[in-house]
Structure 1
Amino acid sequence: MISRVQAGKELILERVFKAPKDLVFDAFSKADHLRHWWGPRGWDVTVCTVDFRPGGQWHYCMKCVDPNQGDFYGMESWGLAIYHEIEAPTRIVYTDHFSDAQARINETMPSTRITLTFEDVEGGTKIISHATYSSEEALKTVMDMGMLQGVTETWDRLAEHLESQQR
Structure 2
Amino acid sequence: MANQLATKVEGQVLTLERVFNAPRELVFQAFTQSEHLKHWWGPRGWEITVSDMDFRPGGSWHYCFKCMDQSQGDFYGMESWGKAVYDQIETPERIVYTDYFSDAEGSLSDTMPPSHIVMTFETTDGGKTKVVNRAAYASAEALQTVLDMGMEQGIGETYDRLDEYLAAQQ
What band does the TM-score fall into relative to the shorter chain?
Answer: over 0.9
Q: How does 1:70-85 map to 2 (within 5 A)?
A: 70-85=73-88
Give 1:112 deviation, angstroms: 1.0
Q: 3-state DSSP class of the match of 1:37? A: coil
Compute the RMSD of aligned alpha carbons: 0.6
| Alpha-carbon distance in 1 for matches of 2:125, 2:18 | 13
Aligned length: 165
Choose which of 104, 122, 144 in structure 2 pairs with 1:140.
144
CA deviation digits over 1:88-126, x for unaligned, max 9? 000001111000111000111010111100000013000
2:165 paired residue number:
161
2:64 to 38, 61, 64: 61
Residue 49 of structure 1 deviates from its aligned partner by 1.2
Which segments of 5 or more consecutive residues in structure 2 lack a partner in the other structure? none
Give percent identity, aligned residues only: 60
The answer on 1:18 being equivalent to 2:21 is yes
Quick one: which of 29, 33, 56 aligns to 1:30?
33
* Matching residue of 2:133: 129
User: How many Å separate the matches in 2 of 1:111 and 1:34?
Assistant: 21
1:96 aligns with 2:99: yes
State TM-score, norm by structure 2.
0.96
Question: 5+ unaligned residues in a row in structure 1: which ranges?
Answer: none
Shift, 1:158, TM fit: 0.6
Q: Distance in 1 between matches of 2:38 and 2:96?
A: 20
The letter of the residue matching 2:19 is V
- Correspondence 1:2 to 2:2: no
Query: How far apart, CA to CA, are the structure 1 residues paired with 2:125 and 2:53?
Result: 30
